[in-house]
Structure 1
Amino acid sequence: MSDSTRTAEQQAADWLILLREEPESASLQGRFESWLDDDPVHACAWVAVSETFGTIAEVEPEPGSRWQGTDMAPLRARRRWRWRQGNPGRAAAIRPGQLVAGACAAALMLWFAPAALLNLQSDYVTAPGEVRSVTLADGSTVNLGPGSALAVDYSAKARSVRLLAGEAWFDVEHNPAAPFRVVAGDVQTTVLGTSFDVRRVGGATAVSLKRGRVRVATEGFTRDLSPGQWVRVDEAHGVETGADDPALLGAWQVGAIIASNRPVEEVIDELRPWFGGRIVLLNRALARSRIDGVYNAHEPENALAAIVSRAGGKVQRITPWLIFIT
């Protein structure tokens, strides 16, 4: 192990102590972020020291398109910490050099492996904040929302696409001989010619229809939708149905998020891909509150502040990529 790595680990240990003593200090957090940015070795040393002293570093994967190049940006771009008392004896059994290499490799896999797998499965992907229009082989068009992934499988007798993540608006060319199907999780939507929206967030899927007719099917449920109607299916296959003004559907394509008696948590979920960072909703009562309004997704932080203030909550920005809602 080089002298520079030893120095970095010593500095990381100092930061560990300081951050535990002053977890709410914004200036300290800023200096720590600057130290991480100075050298990729610092990021690896931080992972190693955190693990050695029993610190849990909780990280979540983000789409690979968020980071361009081969530096350590992912490692410093998404992080939050929850401290616990360490076990000093644990460190003696692991050589620091092995720990750094192993911890860094594991950390990078957490970020890149899911994104890489998604990219391999997809024909079209979008980055956070990006809306992309795609024309398929039959002339049907798809507008992909931010942080979305779509796979296409066409044949002479069937047109099938899979929404792997995010949201997409479909304007389908009429062809009775080749039905058009959208699969999102366990939900399948079948159409002949229509304009509709499919959104997949986590394990939940929502389908809403602007014109034409679609059939939505999932485990134990099948429903034909008329214009304005929508269906939401949660992770446990719970089904919710309703209707909105068809003219308001798909407003996200121009950067507008419309809420009409919708839970705060659901509206924030729709806003997340536009932010591209981490939004942590800590107040469960606030999450269930219902709000109305129209919010500008092109300015996600301002939109988030407006959403939360309507429900009596507060927004705390920890880093440029991390926001807490209380």
Structure 2
Amino acid sequence: MNGDCKNNMQPLRLQAAEWVARVYSGSFSEQDEINLKKWREQSELHETEFLEALAVMDDFRDFGISPQDVAQPRHGGIRKSIWAVAAVAAVFMLSFLGITLRDGPEAPSVPLDADKAQLVYSTGVGEQKTVTLGDGSTVALNTASRVYVDFDDQTRWLILDQGEAYFDVAKNSGRPFVVSVGNQAITVLGTKFNVRRSKGEISVAVSEGKVAVHEKLDRQDFVKRITPIFEGSSEAVGGLKHYMLAQGAVGNFSTGENFDGAVAIGNPYQHQIWRENLLSFSGSSLEEVARELSRYSQKPVLVEGEDVRQMLVSGVFRSDELENIWTGLEGLLPVRVEERAGEIVILAAN
């Protein structure tokens, strides 16, 4: 019985692998997206097989190979059709044999609304992960982050529930990509940007394209009210308050009921350097540094003494090498680092 079931699943799994290879091919069209959506909606098994094939393709990153490298030819002499067959074979064989490099399910279904199941992607403390969505967009999650995903025909809707994420959004002018954070939302049509959610505020840094940060809207009238912003109107329908951020802009916004923010030209790279497992500080107080390091540590990082808290730190550190950071701080400053029960403490050297 089990053998027959596996044999029956092979054609479906192969179709899923073919779709994933097409998503990464570099020529995934809007019509392809429509056809893929119809294919995935045929049954729960179709959706499950697609997500599994998508996750397996993402696992190539653990070998230092990007999924795009798998799905696209490096040399002009190799025909795309042949290369696509090879990509499909790789994904199909890995998924069929059950080979996975992940610690657990990549995209379990969880209820976001009472009447609808959603996808959720998350990372643990010190973990980072990049996932590819059904439209070809990618989301890189930083430490201790979680994002919910819910796409429909009109919008590509996500909720950044906690933490930080970098979004590389596939262009689709007829289907906005929305990231909801607290009482605010960020809408784009196709761009690259970083969002960090912390207590009471969000920061947005735009690497490419433009984004609109605005009050959160009901999905029913979202498209009608947000479209004028991207058509150049200074006022959205219904007086929607918003900030427009172009490439190079960095903005900080409140997440509470009273929407407010400030936008300036900055260095977006500094806001996404975490993707290289790097932390950069320039004249930051040791208290600020400890707060940032706590995001990557299994134990909270505390600083004892007001004088020690105000010591200034400049330098670049690797977030995945905390022991080296403790040693580096002891070399830079007159401090010592102690590991106590349930916490890391930085205090004066004498």
TM-score by length of 2: 0.51
Give the deviation of 1:297 after TM superposition.
Answer: 0.3
Q: Please, which runs of 5 or more residues in structure 1 have no aligned partner?
A: 1-118
1:256 aligns with 2:278: yes
Q: What RMSD, in angstroms, separates the aligned Cα atoms of the two structures?
A: 3.2
Partner of 1:130: 127
CA distance in structure 1 between the partners assigned to 2:147 and 2:248 by the alignment: 24
Secondary structure of 1:275's counterpart equals coil
Give the deviation of 1:261 after TM superposition.
Answer: 4.4
5 Å matches for 1:37-76? Answer: none
CA distance in structure 1 between the partners assigned to 2:315 and 2:151 by the alignment: 39
5 Å matches for 1:132-151? Answer: 132-151=129-148
Partner of 1:322: 343
Partner of 2:253: 233
Write the letter of the residue equivalent to 2:243: R
Residues 312 and 217 of structure 1: CA distance in aligned 2, closer, same or farther (over 3 Å): farther
Residues 287 and 207 of structure 1: CA distance in aligned 2, closer, same or farther (over 3 Å): farther
Give the deviation of 1:274 after TM superposition.
Answer: 2.0
> More displaced, 166-175 or 267-276?
267-276
Write the letter of the residue equivalent to 2:273: A
Is the contact between residue 183 and residue 255 of structure 2 (CA under 8 Å) also seen in structure 1? no
CA distance in structure 1 between the partners assigned to 2:245 and 2:152 by the alignment: 26
Is the contact between residue 210 and residue 244 of structure 2 (CA under 8 Å) also seen in structure 1? yes
CA distance in structure 2 between the partners assigned to 1:289 and 1:235 by the alignment: 30
Give the deviation of 1:132 after TM superposition.
Answer: 0.9
Write the letter of the residue equivalent to 2:343: L
Is the contact between residue 286 and residue 311 of structure 1 (CA under 8 Å) also seen in structure 2? no
Is the contact between residue 154 and residue 175 of structure 2 (CA under 8 Å) also seen in structure 1? yes
TM-score by length of 1: 0.54
Give the deviation of 1:306 after TM superposition.
Answer: 4.1
CA distance in structure 1 between the partners assigned to 2:130 and 2:148 by the alignment: 14
> More displaced, 183-192 or 254-263?
254-263
1:278 aligns with 2:275: no
Give the deviation of 1:299 after TM superposition.
Answer: 1.0
Write the letter of the residue equivalent to 1:233: F
Query: Of residues 296, 319, 322 in structure 2, which corresponds to 1:300?
Result: 322
Q: Please, which runs of 5 or more residues in structure 2 have no aligned partner?
A: 1-109, 113-118, 217-239
Write the letter of the residue equivalent to 1:325: I
CA distance in structure 1 between the partners assigned to 2:260 and 2:302 by the alignment: 24
Secondary structure of 1:257's counterpart equals strand
CA distance in structure 1 between the partners assigned to 2:285 and 2:191 by the alignment: 28
